[in-house]
Amino acid sequence: QSALTQPASVSGSPGQWITISCTGTSSDVGGYNSVSWYQQLPGKAPKLIIYDVATRPSGVSNRFSGSKSGNTASLIITGLQTGDEADYYCGTWDNSLSAWVFGGGTKLTVL
Binding stretches for other proteins (CB under 8 A): 2, 34, 36, 38, 45-48, 51-52, 57, 89, 91, 93, 98-105
Alpha carbon distance 100, 18 (integer Å): 26
Beta-bridged to residue 92, according to DSSP, are 101
| Least distance (Å) between residue 14 CB and other proteins | 26
| Least distance (Å) between residue 17 CB and other proteins | 24
| Least distance (Å) between residue 39 CB and other proteins | 11
Among residues 40, 12, 109, 32, the alpha carbon closest in space to that of 73 is found at: 32
Alpha carbon distance 34, 50 (integer Å): 10
**Measured from the CB atom, is 30 or 102 closer to other proteins?**
102
